[in-house]
């Protein structure tokens, strides 16, 4: 038996727009972090009531509005910034600094997976849905304030026919929208293609970062208008042709987790941390490639469900396809590592 909790059309104000090297949509870790926080609140506030955990989460985007502006035509977009605290009359001789923050308003739906199915009556289901609604109003999603949740529903299915009906109802709740799908296998395939393409090139060895940029950079190439064998110069007539992306689809750069760059320090060993009871480890953001697909294209919920996976120094958000295989295998993680992996203390000695 499977159970899913659907938070339909969640309106969020002032959510984080910057995620690692990317901006425009919150990181996956923030949605799974919200799922984990909600799971802990349910188990803490209503102890003994629900013997389950909220294990995975699928993200459906309905509307986004990044708080940016364009200083002039064809220039880069810049985030709208405010000075906190604002400039007051008594501060006229000193202006408060601006700490750059990227904010956005968005509307998303979350399909949350329950690790253990609950046997509940209709009254108990309504009680759980009301409790979740009450808890969410006091929480933050991706650093933003939850203004409204259109609908909260708990779905249960055990047979193939019930799963089909449940998927149809969930699609109805989350339409119109686009669900985020992991496409890290595209990145791996394109990286292997570049390695073969430049195998005999002594001047250039492609890196995984080069392959990642091919999915988000807009590239053009100059094609000479004539087929003469004359040497090419800057004055040679040419047409500029667009270089298509390695794969088709609405592909985006995506932050999908963290990788440790230091040892785990005991609580209190590192100064100026958030608390003195939690061990500390320095990490860097991990990026991959994702794709926005229409909700009506979802084959099964398991194909779009993001879950945490910890593997040594890697702390990633992963999806498992319908065949039960991870989209990111251990071999792929190993190939994505840099040629040298330095400890945090060793890196500090370089400066």
Q: What is the pLDDT of residue 110?
A: 92
Phi, psi dihedrals of residue 192, rounded to the nearest 5°? -65, -35
Q: Which of 38-47, 68-77, 159-168, 329-338 shows the lowest mean pLDDT across its residues?
A: 329-338
What is the distance between the alpha carbons of residues 299 and 319, in angstroms, rounded to a whole number? 14
Q: Which residue has the higher pLDDT, 331 or 185?
A: 185
Is it the case that residue 122 has pLDDT exceeding 70?
A: yes
ω into 176 cis (within 30 of 0): yes
What is the distance between the alpha carbons of residues 106 and 24, in angstroms, rounded to a whole number? 10
Q: What is the pLDDT of residue 330?
A: 44
Is it the case that residue 47 has pLDDT exceeding 70?
A: no
Tokens (6 digits) for 170: 């969930």
Cα dihedral 163, 167, 168, 173 in deg (nearest 10): 140
What is the distance between the alpha carbons of residues 75 and 72, in angstroms, rounded to a whole number? 6
What is the distance between the alpha carbons of residues 249 and 185, in angstroms, rounded to a whole number? 14
Q: Which of 40-49, 59-68, 147-156 shows the lowest mean pLDDT across its residues?
A: 40-49
In tens, the pLDDT along 191-228 reads 888 888 888 877 788 888 888 888 888 888 888 887 76
Is it the case that residue 3 has pLDDT exceeding 70?
A: yes
State mean pLDDT over 265-278.
85
∠ CA 128-129-135, rounded to 5°:
85
**Percent of the chain residues past pLDDT 70, beyond the cut:** 84
Q: What is the pLDDT of residue 49?
A: 59
Q: What is the pLDDT of residue 298?
A: 85
Q: What is the pLDDT of residue 332?
A: 41
Tell me the domain boundaries of the chain. 2-86+95-176, 183-291+307-351
């Amino acid at each position: 038996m499977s159970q899913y909790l659907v938070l339909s059309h969640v309106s969020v104000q002032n959510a984080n727009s910057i995620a690692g090297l990317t901006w425009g949509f919150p990181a996956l870790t923030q949605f799974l972090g919200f799922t984990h926080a909600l799971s802990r609140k349910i188990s803490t506030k209503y102890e003994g009531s629900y013997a389950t955990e909220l294990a995975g989460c699928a993200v459906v985007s309905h509307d986004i509005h990044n708080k940016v502006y364009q200083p002039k035509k064809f220039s880069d977009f810049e985030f709208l910034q405010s000075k906190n605290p604002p400039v007051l009359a008594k501060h006229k001789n000193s202006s408060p600094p601006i700490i750059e923050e990227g904010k956005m308003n968005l509307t998303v739906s979350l399909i949350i997976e329950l690790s253990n199915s609950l046997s509940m009556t209709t009254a108990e289901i309504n009680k759980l849905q009301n409790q979740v609604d009450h808890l969410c109003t006091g929480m933050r999603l991706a650093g933003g304030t939850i203004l409204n949740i259109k609908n909260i529903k708990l779905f249960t299915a055990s047979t193939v026919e019930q799963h089909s009906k449940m998927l149809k109802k969930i699609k109805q709740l989350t339409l119109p929208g686009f669900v985020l799908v992991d496409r890290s296998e595209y990145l791996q395939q394109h990286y292997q293609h570049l390695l073969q393409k430049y195998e005999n090139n002594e001047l250039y060895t492609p890196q995984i970062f080069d392959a990642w940029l091919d999915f988000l950079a807009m590239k053009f190439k100059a094609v000479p208008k004539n087929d003469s064998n004359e040497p090419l110069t800057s004055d040679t007539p040419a047409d500029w042709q667009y270089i298509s992306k390695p794969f088709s689809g609405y592909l985006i750069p995506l932050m999908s987790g963290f990788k440790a760059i230091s040892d785990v320090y005991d609580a209190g060993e590192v100064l100026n941390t958030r608390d003195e009871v939690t061990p500390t480890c320095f990490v860097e953001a991990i990026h991959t490639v994702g794709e926005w697909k229409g909700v009506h294209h979802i084959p099964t919920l398991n194909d779009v469900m993001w879950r945490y996976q910890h593997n040594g120094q890697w702390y990633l958000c992963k999806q498992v396809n319908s065949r039960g295989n991870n989209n990111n295998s251990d071999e792929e993680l190993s190939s994505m590592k840099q040629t040298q992996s330095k400890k945090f203390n060793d890196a500090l000695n370089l400066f």
